[in-house]
Amino acid sequence: MEVRELAVPGAFEFSPRVFPDERGLFVCPFQEEGFVKAVGHPLKVAQLNHSRSRRGTIRGLHYADVPPGQAKYVYCSRGALLDVVADIRVGSPTFGVVDAVRLDPHEFRAVYVPEGLGHAIMALEDDTVLSYLCTTEYDAGREHGLDPLDPDLGLPWPAGVEPLLSDKDRAAPRLARAREEGLLPRYEECLTHYRRLRENPAHAYSTSAH
């Protein structure tokens, strides 16, 4: 398993070995030992999400309140997608930095998105299948979104692909408005949460700990 930290600190790309033979192939998109070595703590899995999308579909840019937030481990088992991570943590030295990774079922790269970062994907082919492990269950009251077409975010969507958004994502606020209204995660609170994860992962996700 090869690991690369993205331009957004704390987010990682994982590239597993693929073993093809005459029957097909075998691959391990998630490996705990390599994950813990890179990130510094285990991945707590509370929910597995699965989606299928038409070409051009954008899902995001999504994030959740920290603590506890919601981290994601993302991979693509069919089609192809562009996975985008944005630093939206107010006070972060890399606030506004964006990075992207192409995910597909050929190299089986995966992306880890820690709590407090914005996350979005665009399907590059019809019938693209996305699966991701989540550290917390969905909580509508703590989940938020930003306009994925906001020019201030400058997400690197490929030219020539018509964006297809849900009504909810299309109506999401732009970055500047969300910041003015105090809706974005704060960098110091994220750092405190990351430290708790390294010291005691179970305690970090306990609502009584905050």
Does pLDDT of 193 surpass 70?
Answer: yes
Residue 206 confidence (pLDDT): 64
- CA–CA dist 143, 69 (Å, integer): 9
Residue 163 confidence (pLDDT): 98
How many structural domains is the chain composed of? 1
**Which one of the listed residues 62, 119, 144, 193 is annotated catalytic?**
62
162 inside domain = yes
What count of other Cβ atoms lies within 10 Å of the Cβ of residue 127? 11
Residue 208 confidence (pLDDT): 41
210 inside domain = no
Phi-psi region of 147 (alpha: psi -120 to 50; beta: other; left: phi over 0): beta
Expressed as residue numbers, the domain containing 141 is 2-202
pTM exceeds 0.85:
yes
74 inside domain = yes
105 inside domain = yes
Residue 117 confidence (pLDDT): 98
CATH number for position 121: 2.60.120.10
- Respond yes or no: is residue 50 known to be catalytic: no
Average pLDDT score over the chain: 95
**Which one of the listed residues 73, 75, 112, 132 is annotated catalytic?**
132
208 inside domain = no
